[in-house]
């Protein structure tokens, strides 16, 4: 399985980097082999004491010369590739703001029309073949955005704004994760990029723009009330309800996501119940407080309500 | 066995001949680097700022008084160094005392300088960098005053031997460093915010 | 053995010892103990990572483990052990009776020891620093690392850098001013050159990290804003300062190892080193270039394009001086008459491991490749190839090589060869798979990973390799203990080497040389130095002409007491800023008494005094 | 002996118990010590203080619509239990009740932090400055009263 491999490329930039890697690798391999052969020969000669110093200066000088030429070639190749990475047509780019938090990703789809903006977390859907301009910011510490199938990493630094433009040319699901050590749950700060055909993407985005569906039955209604009046709404938001906390992932279409806790566990009712009642059992140190005090039916109602937020 | 007799060699020498001089140059390299980096950090913070300085710049009076004192102190310091190199204990004692008094005066003025910076270390990054630069230089100033004090007392009480003159001469070199290192710091903290 | 000299130069009392060999051996043993301790932490981390979703070690402890592992390996092992080898060998190699500033040397050791004990002490209490050896703010800043954990890290830096800076000064002064007459700069052994170059790098690199860590602790304790963007500071300022130190750091671990290589290869090739002038120039070039590539640790942060290209070029071109040295060693071997012994084996591993690590270094020096490889296990592999292949293997070689000089006994060849092969194979098993893990997307500093990532097999193999390395370490300790007790007597010069440390007995007497030789004049020795008093010969910098005699200080306990006072001040200042004020008083007292001349010593010096 | 006690005391302050054990008794005393002597808990309290918009009224301690919290005046007492009740039950003239909106642990962490604002807890446990604009000196530099 190659879930996060830098050679399983899906975008032009990752592809250029992979090409550069193979060129560099080939040259390095040859140099490595040459040094080993030379060392081996030297040991063989030296052991017998038959190595003559004749021409040794010339040999050393030419080896240094060849090394220099190879290095200069690699510098040129590297700089050229670096230039190429920046040359991606971003004229009609989809603009998304990505904000790093300990330990989740806040994903805000931008649009000139405020009513078309929406927010999700940890999972980014993008249209295939269209450039995406990510604006990267951090709320607390330094994080690093990295989806190897698409592009190299870029740091999210508090107090600074960075942009990363990329494009997926193949539909698929691409995993990434935070690459800059950000504290106790750095290991569990994954994200997913879903590259969807343009139409599918539009349908998905349209769905995300809608407010959350109202509760459909009694338990869901109870869950809704608990959410809105209890501890949840202090940090979480659900569009279309009074819950508008901005400190934790927006849960408007929570049920459309595949994982809980930034890729920590799959999003199913059982895992969700565990997560709500005792998140520290799954991801110790997370800022979500434990809700062991919830009664069993209350927990079930919350799970049912959140499960309805397609 | 053929031998190389070294018993006729002197038992101490001044300047770069002396081992202590090399130790001192190492120290100056370290401290000079540290001051340069603190200055670089100050300029880096500046380069990130929209408005500089975010507070009023340090008041010129006490800072300038101190620059004057530092520059004037070169004279007794130089005379102390000459006296040390001549091995003249009486002159050396005199100029060491003058240097020490000037050093104490500079420390007192430095304390007043800190009150006239118009920024606290916890006001903002400008204040932090400013205090760090001044603080670092003050540490050197204090070290040198302490060093001078120890030497002065030793010159009066003994036990003395010839190579203490080397120590005194090297103390003077460190004093030069403390003075000359201050000039660029003074320029970037007191004048650049006013001119740039 | 000269009893008069022995009486003059021997140490009196454990805490007062100032002989450079005593201090150096303590330094070496202590830093080796820290190496073992930090290695055990690595083994624990490897056990945690051996299988996916392991819960052997929780994230909080794991973060402390990798932080202390990295910090200890860099600050408590790699740099100090290299300096310690220099402290032992440089005076011997240049034909001096002592290191310059021997009391400062003792002080430096105690400060280093107390700092290291503090770091492992807080880890044992489960309150170790947990933000990585690089401790980037704002993560390491006051808001996101509450408590004192990171303050211990910041003060550890102050401890170890203070110790390292003092040693650097001693080594420069010793190498420049205390060489035996006739040992011109052009005759100075390459190891001494390497230590001089390293020491100069220390002088200019370490103030950066001391400044950075002082600013960090000030941010944490007294509310300064160096790294607070909201008040005009910048988190990236730390990165610049840290790596301005951090990259030269790698070279000041690596350059002494080059010195080991250049000592051991000619000895076992039975010929002088090939291309001495080129070797010296290459060392100096490495030092200069080493300061020009710190930004390559920050390619993923946002920086101007042109700057990045410059640092790519500098990072790649630093390979050239190393290449020159490698080619010269190959030429030395080629034209020599090689004798295979354990030291040479360890040194030959360099050609396999370091060269591979250097080549992966060229890969990560390229901006585009680094954007993918940065902060992945590829870099973990790279840095261990460079540091273990480039420094630790040569260091083991150096220990096998100089152990007879240190103790007067040979180490076991058989155990040595076993250790070498287990270490070498274990190393490849542990670290080679990390290259593929990195390319497979495994990021650094993660305490666990989901099974679905497919990283399980390579991680398991790597853990097996780590345990092999641990086994080789055990074998080394067994070999040292056994050889120390009943190894074959070594004699003065068991390897037939030609540097001066082999010209005295093994182990050397406290005064190093009964008769100091004059180089370039066969059989001529120095006379006229006092024997009843610690007199040494100071020579000129370039030509090593006799310049003056200098009486050295006697043993004293004040360096030890001053180090205690410094420790109280450093640790106290973690808890209250006022400790900087009241903690300075005992330091001032201690240092004053340390320097205050004693009457009997002065009388002794006056008797020998000759004015210039 | 003293240093040993000091070190052990120090460790308590540094441990990070993400998952707090259930209180052993109903009395608030263990809650108080557990949070007030743990730097991580106080830091969490500081986080909640900003997340739950306490700063909206109390600012960063200097006060505004609500009373200042970094001075010596306490309308309802400076004891942990009183502060806890203020947070959970609310008080007349604008202090809302947070009962049901925050968990017990969060409330006690807030109590510990509020007390740190006026120097009522040990300086080596109190938080340093945060990454943001700060008009007042950090909590770890406020004099212990």
Residue B171, domain extent: 17-48+55-195
pLDDT tier for residue B190 given thresholds of 50, 70 and 90 = very high
* R_g of chain A computed on alpha carbons: 26
From the candidates A141, A158, A227, A231, which should be mutated to test the interface with D, based on the most D CB atoms within 10 A? Answer: A231
Three-state DSSP at A125 gives: strand
Q: How far apart are CA C481 and CA C475, in angstroms?
A: 10
Residue D11 banded pLDDT, cuts 50, 70, 90: low
Residue contact C529–B127, C-beta within 8 A: no
Chain C residues with CB inside 8 Å of D3's CB?
Answer: none
Residue C105 φ/ψ, nearest 5 degrees: -60, -45
Chain B residues close to C524, C-beta within 8 Å: 1-4
Cβ of C440 and A35 within 8 Å? no
A120 and A199 part of one domain: yes
Neighbours of C486 (CB within 10 A): 7
DSSP, residue by residue, B18-58? SHHHHHHHHHHHHHHHHHHHHHHHHHHHHHT-SSSSSSPPP
Query: Do residues A170 and A10 touch, judged by C-beta distance below 8 A?
Result: yes
Confidence label for D1 from pLDDT (cuts 50, 70 and 90): very low
At B169-188, the pLDDT tens digits run 999 999 999 999 999 999 99
Query: What CATH number has the domain bearing residue B148?
Result: 1.20.120.80
A266 and A302 part of one domain: yes
Q: Please name which of C608, C611, C612, C607 lies closest in space to residue C528, comparing C-alpha atoms.
A: C608
Rounded to the nearest integer, the mean pLDDT of chain A is 93
Statement to judge: residues A158 and A98 lie in one domain: yes
**pLDDT-above-90 percentage for chain B:** 85
Sign, CA torsion B58/B59/B64/B65: negative
Cα distance from B85 to chain D (closest Cα, Å)? 50
Token representation of residue A285? 């140190």
In CATH, what class is C3-339+491-608?
A: mainly alpha
Choosing from A86, A113, A140, the residue where a domain stops is: A86
C-alpha distances in angstroms, C32 versus A42, B173, C122? 33, 39, 19
Task: Give chain A positions within 8 Å (CB) of D106.
Answer: 289
Show which of residues 210-239 on chain C sit within 8 Å of chain B, judged by CB atoms.
210-211, 214-215, 218-219, 222-226, 228, 231-234, 237
Which fold does the domain D28-128 belong to in CATH?
Answer: Cytochrome Bc1 Complex; Chain D, domain 2 (1.10.760)
Enumerate residues 6+ apart whose C-beta is below 8 A from C351: A35, A36, A39, C326, C329, C330
CA distances from C184 to C180, C193, C281, C513 (A): 9, 12, 16, 19
- Kindly state the helix (H) or strand (E) to which residue A97 belongs, with its residue range: strand A94-101
Q: Is residue B1 part of a domain?
A: no
Residue A101's SS3 state is strand
- Distance between B126 CA and the closest CA of chain C, angstroms: 7
Residue A173 and residue A153 share a domain? yes
The span from the CA of C202 to the CA of C291, in Å, is 11
Q: Residues of C with CB below 8 A from D46's CB? A: 143
Tell me if B172 is assigned to some domain.
Answer: yes
Same domain, A199 and A114: yes
Instruction: Calculate mean pLDDT across residues B139-152.
Output: 94
CA distance D82 to chain B (A): 32
* Cα–Cα distance for residue pair C146/D14, rounded to 1 Å: 8
Distance from the Cα of A101 to chain D's closest Cα (Å) equals 13
Nearest to C218 by CA among C581, C583, C570, C577: C577
Cβ of A181 within 8 Å of Cβ of C449? The answer is no
Determine the residue among C175, C225, C537 to mutate to test chain B binding: the one whose Cβ has the most chain B Cβ atoms within 10 Å.
Answer: C225
State the Cα–Cα distance between residues A146 and A167, nearest whole angstrom. Answer: 14
For residue A289, the domain's CATH number is 2.60.40.420
Q: What angle do CA B162, B167, B170 make, to 5 degrees?
A: 135
* B72-92: pLDDT as tens digits: 999 999 999 999 999 899 999
For residue C549, list chain B residues with Cβ-Cβ distance below 8 A: 6-7, 9-11
Say how far apart CA C507 and CA C491 lie, in whole Å.
9
Number of structural domains chain B divides into: 1
CB pairs under 8 A between A and D: 39
Q: Is A282 found in the same domain as A235?
A: yes
Tell me, yes or no, whether A249 lies in a domain. yes
For residues C193 and C171, the answer to whether their CB atoms sit within 8 Å is no
- Note the pLDDT of residue D19: 56
Q: Which domain range does residue A265 map to?
A: 218-307
Question: Of D18, D51, D106, which has the smallest distance from its Cβ to A280's Cβ?
Answer: D18
How far apart are the C-alpha atoms of A145 and D35, rounded to whole Å? 35
Q: pLDDT tier at B48 (50, 70, 90 boundaries)?
A: confident
- The pLDDT assigned to D17 comes to 64
User: In the predicted model, is pLDDT for residue D27 greater than 80?
Assistant: no
Residue A290 lies in a domain: yes
The ipTM of this complex is 0.93
Q: For residue A74, give the nearest of A30, A36, A10 by alpha carbon.
A: A30
The reply to whether residue B125 touches residue C232, judged by beta carbons under 8 angstroms, is yes
pLDDT for residue D42 is more than 80? yes
Residue D61's pLDDT is: 77
What is the pLDDT, as a whole number, of residue A134? Answer: 96
pTM over 0.80: yes
| Mean pLDDT in residue range D101-118 | 92
What's the burial of C15, exposed, middle or buried (CB within 10 Å: 0-12/13-18/19+)? Answer: middle
> Do D134 and C221 make contact, defined as CB atoms within 8 angstroms?
no
A239 confidence band (pLDDT: 50, 70, 90):
very high
Q: Rounded mean pLDDT of A175-202? A: 96
- Judge: A179–C317 Cβ closer than 8 Å, yes or no: no
What is the model's pLDDT at position D4?
44
In the complex, which subunits touch C with 3 or more CB pairs below 8 angstroms?
A, B, D
Q: Which two tokens stand for residue C317?
A: 């071109």
Domain boundary among A86, A106, A139: A86
**Annotated domain spans of chain C:** 3-339+491-608
**Residue stretches of chain C with pLDDT short of 70:** 305-306
Size of interface A-C (CB pairs under 8 A): 248
CA A162 vs CA A96, B50, C368, C544: distances in Å: 12, 19, 17, 57
**How far does the CA of residue A234 sit from the closest CA of chain C (Å)?**
21
State whether A231 and D103 contact (CB < 8 Å): yes
C residues 402-441 closer than 8 Å to B (CB): none
The pairs formed by A80-86 with CB atoms below 8 angstroms and a separation of 24 or more are A81/A16, A81/A17, A81/A19, A81/A20, A81/C366, A81/C368, A82/C305, A82/C308, A82/C309, A82/C312, A82/C366, A82/C367, A82/C368, A83/C305, A84/A16, A85/A13, A85/A16, A85/A17, A85/A151, A85/A152, A85/C368, A85/C371, A86/C305
C525–chain B Cβ distance below 8 A for any pair:
yes
> CA–CA separation, D136 vs D119, rounded Å?
13
What is d(CA A17, CA C373) in angstroms, rounded to the nearest whole number? 10
Instruction: Say if the Cβ atoms of D51 and A293 lie within 8 Å.
Output: no
Q: Is the pLDDT of residue D28 over 50?
A: no
Q: Which single residue is written with the structure tokens 């000196």?
A: D137
Residues of A in contact with C348 (CB under 8 A): 39, 43
The Cα–Cα gap between C563 and C591 comes to 9
Calpha distance A22→C158 (Å, rounded):
43
pLDDT digits 0-9 by tens, A79-135: 999 999 988 888 899 999 999 999 999 999 999 999 999 999 999 999 999 999 999
Task: Give the C-alpha distances (Å, rounded to integers) separating A24 from C224, C365, C423.
Answer: 45, 11, 29
CB contact under 8 A, C549 and B33: no
pLDDT at position D31, please? 57
- Report the SS3 class of residue A283: coil
Nearest chain A Cα distance for residue D21, angstroms: 11
Total domains in chain A come to 3
Q: According to the 3-state scheme, what is the secondary structure of B48-102?
A: CCCCCCCCCCCCHHHHHHHHHHHHHHHHHHHHHHHHHHHCCHHHHHHHHHHHHHH
Q: What is the pLDDT of residue A49?
A: 78
For residue A103, cis peptide bond before it (omega within 30 degrees of 0): yes
Q: Rounded to an integer, what distance in angstroms lies between the CA atom of residue A205 and that of residue A125?
A: 8
A137: in domain: yes
Among candidates D125, D133, D140 on the partner chain, residue whose Cβ is nearest the Cβ of C230: D133
Measured in degrees and rounded to the nearest 5, phi and psi for residue C125 equal -90, 10
Last residue of a domain, one of A30, A59, A86: A86
DSSP of A140-193, one letter per residue? SS-EEE--TTT---EEE-TT--EEEEE---S-EEEEEE--S--STTGGG-EEEE
Q: How confident is the model at residue D12 (pLDDT cuts 50, 70, 90)?
A: low
Residues A237 and A161 in one domain: no
Q: Which residues contact A53 (CB under 8 A, 6 or more apart)?
A: C274, C331, C335
In the predicted structure, residue D18 carries a pLDDT above the cut 70? no
> What is the rounded average pLDDT for all residues in chain B?
93
Place of tokens 């068991």: C494
Q: Do C528 and B128 touch (CB under 8 A)?
A: no
Q: Residue D47: which of D127, D133, D123 has the closest Cα? A: D127
Q: Answer for the pair C419, C284: CB distance below 8 angstroms, yes or no.
A: no
């Amino acid at each position: 399985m190659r879930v996060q491999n830098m050679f399983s490329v899906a975008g032009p930039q990752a592809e250029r980097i992979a090409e550069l890697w193979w060129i560099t690798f080939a040259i390095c391999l040859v140099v490595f082999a040459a040094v080993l052969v030379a060392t081996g020969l030297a040991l063989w000669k030296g052991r017998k004491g038959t190595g003559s110093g004749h021409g040794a200066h010339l040999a050393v000088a030419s080896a240094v010369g060849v090394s220099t030429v190879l290095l200069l070639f690699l510098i040129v190749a590297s700089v050229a590739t670096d230039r190429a990475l920046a040359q991606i047509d971003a004229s009609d780019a989809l603009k998304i703001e990505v904000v790093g938090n300990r330990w989740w990703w806040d994903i805000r789809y931008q649009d000139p029309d405020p009513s078309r903006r929406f927010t999700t977390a940890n999972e980014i859907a993008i249209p295939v073949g269209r450039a995406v301009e990510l604006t990267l910011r951090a709320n607390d510490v330094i994080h690093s955005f990295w989806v190897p199938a698409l592009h190299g990493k870029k740091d999210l630094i508090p107090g600074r704004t960075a942009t990363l433009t990329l494009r997926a040319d193949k539909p698929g699901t691409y995993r990434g994760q935070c690459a800059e050590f950000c504290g106790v749950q750095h290991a569990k700060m994954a994200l997913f990029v879903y590259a969807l055909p343009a139409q599918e993407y539009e349908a998905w985005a349209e769905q995300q723009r809608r407010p959350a569906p109202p509760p459909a039955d009694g338990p869901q209604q109870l869950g809704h009330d608990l959410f809105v009046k209890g501890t949840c709404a202090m940090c979480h938001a659900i569009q279309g309800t009074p819950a508008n906390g901005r400190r934790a992932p927006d849960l408007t279409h929570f049920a459309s996501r595949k994982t809980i806790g930034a890729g920590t566990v799959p999003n199913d009712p059982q895992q969700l119940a565990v997560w709500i009642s005792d998140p520290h059992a799954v991801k110790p140190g997370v800022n979500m407080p434990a809700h062991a005090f919830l009664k069993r039916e209350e927990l079930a109602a919350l799970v049912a309500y959140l499960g309805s937020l397609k | 066995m053929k031998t190389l007799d070294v018993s006729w060699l002197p038992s101490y020498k001044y300047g770069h001949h002396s081992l202590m001089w090399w130790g001192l140059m190492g120290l100056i390299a370290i401290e000079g680097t540290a001051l340069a980096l603190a200055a670089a950090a100050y300029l880096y913070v500046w380069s990130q700022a929209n408005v500089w300085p975010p507070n009023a710049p340090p008041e010129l009076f006490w800072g300038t008084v101190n620059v004057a004192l530092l520059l004037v102190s070169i004279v007794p310091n130089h005379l102390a160094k000459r006296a040390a190199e001549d091995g003249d204990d009486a002159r050396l004692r005199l100029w060491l005392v003058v240097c020490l008094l000037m050093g104490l005066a500079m420390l007192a003025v430095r304390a007043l300088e800190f009150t006239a910076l118009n920024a606290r270390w916890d006001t903002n990054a400008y204040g932090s960098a400013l205090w760090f630069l001044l603080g670092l230089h003050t540490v050197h100033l204090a070290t040198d005053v302490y060093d001078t004090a120890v030497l002065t007392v030793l010159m009066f009480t003994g036990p003395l031997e010839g190579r203490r003159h080397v120590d005194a001469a090297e103390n003077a070199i460190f004093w030069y460093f403390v003075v000359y290192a201050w000039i660029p710091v003074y320029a970037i903290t007191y004048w650049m915010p006013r001119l740039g | 053995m000269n009893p008069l000299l022995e009486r003059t130069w021997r140490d009196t009392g454990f805490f007062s010892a100032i002989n450079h060999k005593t201090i150096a051996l303590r330094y070496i043993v202590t830093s080796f103990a820290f190496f073992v301790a930090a290695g055990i932490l690595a083994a624990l981390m490897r056990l945690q990572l051996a299988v996916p979703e392991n819960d052997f070690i929780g994230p909080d402890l794991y973060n402390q483990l990798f932080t202390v592992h990295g910090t200890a390996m860099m600050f408590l092992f790699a740099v100090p052990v290299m300096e310690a080898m220099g402290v032992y060998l440089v005076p011997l190699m240049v034909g001096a009776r002592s290191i310059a500033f021997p009391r400062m040397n003792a002080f430096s050791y105690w400060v280093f020891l107390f700092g290291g004990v503090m770091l492992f002490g807080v880890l044992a209490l489960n309150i170790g620093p947990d933000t990585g050896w690089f401790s980037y703010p704002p993560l390491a800043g006051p808001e996101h690392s509450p408590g004192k954990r990171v303050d211990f890290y910041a003060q550890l830096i102050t401890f170890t850098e203070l110790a390292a800076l003092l040693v650097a000064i001693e080594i420069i002064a010793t190498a420049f001013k205390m060489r035996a007459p006739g040992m011109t700069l052009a005759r100075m052994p390459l190891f001494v050159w390497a230590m001089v170059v390293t020491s100069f790098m220390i002088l200019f690199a370490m103030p950066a990290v001391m400044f950075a860590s002082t600013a960090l602790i000030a941010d944490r304790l007294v509310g300064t804003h160096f790294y607070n963007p909201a008040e005009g500071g910048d988190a990236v300022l730390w990165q610049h300062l840290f790596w301005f130190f951090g990259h030269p750091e790698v070279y000041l671990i690596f350059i002494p190892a080059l010195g080991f290589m250049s000592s051991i290869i000619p000895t076992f090739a039975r010929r002088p080193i090939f291309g001495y002038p080129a070797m010296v120039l290459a060392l100096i070039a490495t030092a200069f270039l080493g300061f020009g590539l710190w930004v390559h640790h920050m390619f993923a942060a946002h920086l101007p394009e042109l700057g990045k290209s410059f640092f790519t070029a500098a990072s790649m071109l630093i390979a050239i001086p190393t290449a020159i040295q490698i080619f010269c060693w190959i030429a030395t071997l080629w034209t020599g008459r090689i004798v295979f012994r354990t030291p040479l084996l360890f040194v030959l591993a360099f050609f396999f491991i370091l060269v591979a690590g250097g080549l992966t270094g060229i890969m990560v020096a390229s901006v585009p490749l680094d954007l993918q490889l940065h902060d992945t296990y590829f870099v973990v592999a790279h840095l261990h190839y460079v540091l273990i292949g480039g420094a630790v293997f040569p260091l083991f070689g150096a220990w096998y090589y100089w152990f007879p000089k240190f103790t007067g006994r040979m180490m076991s060849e058989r155990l040595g060869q076993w250790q070498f092969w287990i270490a070498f194979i274990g190393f490849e098993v542990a670290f080679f798979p990390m290259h593929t893990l990195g390319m497979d997307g495994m990021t650094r500093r993660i305490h666990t990973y989901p099974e679905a990532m497919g990283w399980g097999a390579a991680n398991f193999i790597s853990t097996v390799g780590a345990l092999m390395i641990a086994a080789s370490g055990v074998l080394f300790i067994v070999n040292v203990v056994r050889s120390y007790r009943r190894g074959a007597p070594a004699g003065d010069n068991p390897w037939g080497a030609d540097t001066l440390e082999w010209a005295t007995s093994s182990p050397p007497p406290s005064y190093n040389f009964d008769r100091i030789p004059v180089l370039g004049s066969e059989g001529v020795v120095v006379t006229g130095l006092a024997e009843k008093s610690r007199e040494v010969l100071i020579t000129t910098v370039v030509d090593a002409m006799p310049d003056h005699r200098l009486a050295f200080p006697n043993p004293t306990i004040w360096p030890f007491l001053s180090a205690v006072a410094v420790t109280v001040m450093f640790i106290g200042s973690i808890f209250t800023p006022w400790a900087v004020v009241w903690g300075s008083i005992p330091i001032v007292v201690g240092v004053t008494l340390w320097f205050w001349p004693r009457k009997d010593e002065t009388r002794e010096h006056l008797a020998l005094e000759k004015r210039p | 002996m003293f240093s040993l006690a000091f070190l052990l005391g120090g460790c308590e302050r540094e441990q990070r118990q993400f998952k707090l054990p259930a209180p052993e008794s109903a009395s608030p005393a263990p809650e108080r010590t557990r949070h007030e002597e743990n730097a991580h808990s106080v830091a969490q309290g500081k986080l909640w203080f900003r997340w739950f918009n306490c700063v909206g009224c109390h600012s960063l301690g200097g006060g505004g619509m609500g009373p200042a919290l970094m001075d010596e005046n306490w309308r309802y007492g400076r004891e942990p239990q009183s502060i806890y009740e203020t947070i959970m039950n609310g008080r007349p003239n604008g202090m809302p009740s947070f009962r049901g909106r925050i968990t017990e642990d969060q409330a006690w962490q807030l109590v510990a932090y509020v007390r740190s604002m006026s120097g009522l807890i040990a300086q080596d446990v109190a938080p340093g400055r945060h990454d943001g604009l700060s008009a007042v000196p950090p909590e770890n530099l406020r004099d212990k009263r």
